[in-house]
Amino acid sequence: MSSENIVVGQDAPQFQAAAYGQQASISLKDLQGKIVVIYFYPKDDTPGCTTEGQEFTALYPEFQAAGAEILGVSRDSLSSHEKFACKYHFPFPLLADTDEKLCQTFDVLKEKNMYGKTSIGVERSTFVIDRQGKIAYVERKVKAAGHAAAMLDLVKKLP
């Protein structure tokens, strides 16, 4: 599925992935009737990803009060997620997309160029899925700082 297929108003793609948190795996069906904020980030325990996770953590009670669940996704392993989540006390699940299926479904793998070396990495992106299972919002090339607050404002406006 390419990014052209992930548009506001369409049904969100169904998924199931291994998770670090209260459940061993999470699917979109498990969260039916809730707003789902699914954010993709490049790598556990790196500065931008830590900032983003900490800001979602600080606002998590407000997201829950608004009927929303947060899911963080990266290509890191469950053991890496466990260390990251425990270090920063993340209260929401982190999905381990080690086979990159979820990243491919949401088209967040992009070519990156760092110090002249080209590689494929996760483009920091967020998708908000409404209570009916439809895509309510898509943001790519996310800047970590302040992003969680912007997503909370958006979630509070959803029916």
pLDDT at residue 98 greater than cutoff 80: yes
What pLDDT score was predicted for residue 87?
Answer: 97
CATH number at residue 101: 3.40.30.10
Token pair in block for residue 78: 């469950």
13: domain range?
Answer: 3-157
Give 131's strand partners: none
Mind telling me the catalytic residues?
Answer: 49
Is the pTM value of this prediction over 0.85? yes
Query: What does the pLDDT average to over 47-69?
Result: 97
Helices 47-65 and 78-88 pack at an angle, to 10 degrees, of 70
The span from the CA of 46 to the CA of 67, in Å, is 29
**On the CB side of 45, how many CA atoms lie within 13 Å of its CA?**
13
Q: How many domains does the chain contain in total? A: 1
- Indicate the pLDDT class of residue 2, thresholds 50, 70 and 90: very low
CB 44 within 8 A of CB 53: no
